[in-house]
């Protein structure tokens, strides 16, 4: 089986960091698995890594709820981690499926969109016949949801803002816009003074998101930071400002060190959900500005972030506010005051 490696030009190997079971913020939360990692599965992972990257040393694997993550030191790319889905790996073990796990094609496509942007730690894509894997660079740091007492100030908020401004520029301004969707503290890594978003598994083209019924996500962990338009089959098409809602909700959680408003599981539809959330949104409008002001946000910036948490997507900004002063739509009719 012939393996081909697709690599971004200028991709520099990273120094191997101390491996933590907190990596990706998933291991500590993962439920018990129906099977243990057997020697055959590890041998298969070893073969993939060695053929594609030149294996130097294999480290103990990490099991998440849905994947096996195998960190290793390699000759060609330095420190990497191979991610393989448990279900299909188990099927291969049982002889019911040939080959290894295939990550969602949308996730691979999303990662490829980052290929020309050196500020992102792009995984190395490994392809073999009709099967695909991606090998992610191993990076240091901890997920935001696991860091206690993080020092939020203007500098750190601006750095987080810059990261998502660039991500939105790549995914939202494309000829076919994509939604990141799963923006939450457990998907953002912080290390060496930098933030990075490492999970693009729920990233989808906007056209695909609009063609599906989202109601089954109500009450799920991912759905807590999603606007109602992502949870229900509403009348209006979903726009890129659904990601603004998720990002603003995450920022609210981080600055205030509390969970943001959570959807009621009993709400039967989008209109009812918006009405139920409106009560919580009034609380947000009172509390969020104070937290933003404490980290040095201007009146315009405060207005923007508060408006992004509006449950009515038609009342949210339709363009992202750039740190360089770009326009994001008029808020004058929504807000009669500055904070």
Strand segments (E) across the chain:
3-6, 55-58, 62-63, 67-74, 78-85, 124-128, 131-137, 142-143, 178-179, 188-191, 194-197, 204-205
pLDDT at 126: 63
Task: Write out the two tokens for 200.
Answer: 């693009």
Q: Find the mean pLDDT for residues 242-248.
A: 95
- Tally Cβ neighbours within 10 Å of residue 332: 7
Could you tell me if residue 215 is left (phi over 0), alpha (psi between -120 and 50 degrees) or otherwise beta?
alpha
Task: Write out the two tokens for 75.
Answer: 């000759």
Torsion angle in degrees (nearest 10) through CA of 134, 140, 143, 149: -170
Helix (H, G, I), strand (E, B) or coil at 133: strand
pLDDT at 163: 93
Instruction: Please say whether the beta carbons of 103 and 134 come within 8 A.
Output: yes
Mean model confidence pLDDT for the chain: 73
Residue 223: pLDDT over 70? no
Please state whether the predicted TM-score (pTM) of the whole model is above 0.85. Answer: no
- The pLDDT-based confidence of 293 (bands split at 50, 70, 90) is very high
Q: At what angle do helices 299-308 and 270-294 cross, to 10 degrees?
A: 150
Q: Percent of the chain scored above 70 by pLDDT?
A: 64
What is the per-residue DSSP string for 29-74?
A: GPPPPSSPPPHHHHHHHHHHHHHHH-EEEE---EE-SSEEEEEEEE
How far from the centroid of its chain's Cα atoms is residue 226's Cα?
13
Task: Write out the two tokens for 6.
Answer: 């697709």
Residues 6+ positions from 148 with CB-CB distance below 8 Å = none
Fold held by 142-315 = Transferase(Phosphotransferase); domain 1 (1.10.510)
- The pLDDT-based confidence of 330 (bands split at 50, 70, 90) is very low
Cα angle, residue 263 at apex, residues 268 and 227 outer, rounded to 5°: 95
More confident site: 156 or 30: 156
According to the per-residue pLDDT averaged within each range, which of 25-34, 50-59, 211-220 is highest? 50-59
Residues 6+ positions from 160 with CB-CB distance below 8 Å = 188, 195, 251
Break the chain into its structural domains and give their ranges: 3-137, 142-315
Closest CA to 83 of 23, 145, 6: 23
pLDDT at 178: 93
What's the first-to-final CA gap in the chain, in angstroms?
62
Instruction: Please say whether the beta carbons of 86 and 68 come within 8 A.
Output: yes
Task: Write out the two tokens for 319.
Answer: 């363009």
Instruction: Please say whether the beta carbons of 134 and 111 come within 8 A.
Output: yes
Residue 31: pLDDT over 50? no
């Amino acid at each position: 089986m012939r393996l081909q490696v697709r690599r971004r030009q200028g991709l520099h190997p990273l120094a191997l960091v101390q491996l933590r079971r907190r990596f990706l913020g998933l291991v500590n939360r993962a439920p018990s698995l129906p099977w243990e990692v057997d020697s055959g599965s590890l041998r298969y992972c070893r073969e993939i890594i060695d053929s594609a990257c030149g294996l130097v040393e294999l480290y103990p694997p990490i099991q998440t709820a849905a994947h096996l993550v195998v960190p290793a030191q390699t000759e060609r790319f330095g420190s990497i981690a191979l991610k393989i889905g448990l279900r299909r790996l188990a099927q291969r073990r049982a002889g019911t499926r040939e080959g290894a796990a295939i990550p969602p094609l949308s996730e691979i496509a999303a990662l490829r969109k980052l290929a020309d942007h050196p500020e992102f730690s792009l995984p190395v894509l490994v392809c073999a016949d009709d099967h695909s894997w991606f090998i992610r660079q191993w990076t240091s740091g901890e997920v935001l949801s696991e860091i206690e007492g993080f020092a939020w100030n203007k500098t750190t908020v601006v750095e987080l803002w810059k990261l998502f401004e660039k991500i939105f520029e790549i995914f939202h301004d494309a000829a076919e816009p994509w939604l990141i969707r799963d923006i939450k503290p457990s998907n953002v890594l912080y290390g060496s003074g930098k933030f990075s978003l490492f999970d693009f598994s729920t990233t989808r083209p906007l056209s695909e998101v609009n063609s599906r019924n989202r109601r089954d996500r109500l009450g799920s962990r991912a759905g807590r930071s999603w606007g109602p338009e992502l949870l229900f089959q509403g009348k209006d098409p979903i726009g890129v400002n659904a990601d603004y809602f998720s990002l603003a909700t995450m920022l609210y959680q981080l600055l205030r060190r509390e969970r943001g408003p959570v959807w009621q599981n009993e709400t039967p539809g989008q209109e009812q959900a918006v009405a139920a959330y409106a009560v919580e949104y009034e609380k947000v409008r009172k509390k969020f500005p104070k937290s933003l002001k404490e980290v040095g946000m201007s009146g315009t910036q405060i207005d923007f972030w508060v408006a992004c948490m509006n449950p009515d997507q038609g009342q949210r900004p339709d363009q992202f506010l750039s740190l360089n002063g770009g326009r994001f739509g008029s808020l004058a009719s929504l807000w009669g005051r500055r904070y």
